[in-house]
Amino acid sequence: MDKYDVFTDGGCSGNPGPGGWAYVVLKNGSLISSASGGNPDTTNNIMELTAVIRAIEDCNTMGVKELSIHTDSQYVKNGITQWIFSWKRNGWRTASKSPVKNKELWMQLDELNSGSKVTWIWVKGHAGIEYNEMCDSLVRSEMDKLR
């Protein structure tokens, strides 16, 4: 069975400010797809969520339904593997009863995540992990285009 690994990253210059997102898809260790984009006025968290959403959409287009997503965002990993269950149970409210930020993106990610078998893996950012660094470089390039 083929093994698909996806690395994602998102970032912002200022928060909010110009931001970028990126992902790379590996099949059995070989790079098969990548994409990046930007937004002139966004936040780090929106860019992190956009990266994983776009990556899963790309994988779906390729017919990939089982994948491992490597993200350096605790917000994304914890949000989709832990917090989202109580958010949904509480009507998209946090433990402090405030509305969940980026609800529409979380709902989109939740739907994509439930339609695939995703293993979520947190990786340390800026630690020399090849494909995380590649994503970071793509994100920075997108931000540079917007400055």
Which residues are designated catalytic?
9-10, 48, 72, 126, 136
CA atoms of 51 and 45, how far apart (whole Å): 10
Phi-psi region of 18 (alpha: psi -120 to 50; beta: other; left: phi over 0): beta
Tokens of 85: 């269950």
Which residues lie below 8 Å from residue 117, measured CB to CB, with a gap of 6+? 65, 66, 67
Paired with 31 in beta bridges are 26
Q: Where are the beta strands (DSSP E) in 13-131?
A: 17-27, 30-42, 66-71, 117-122
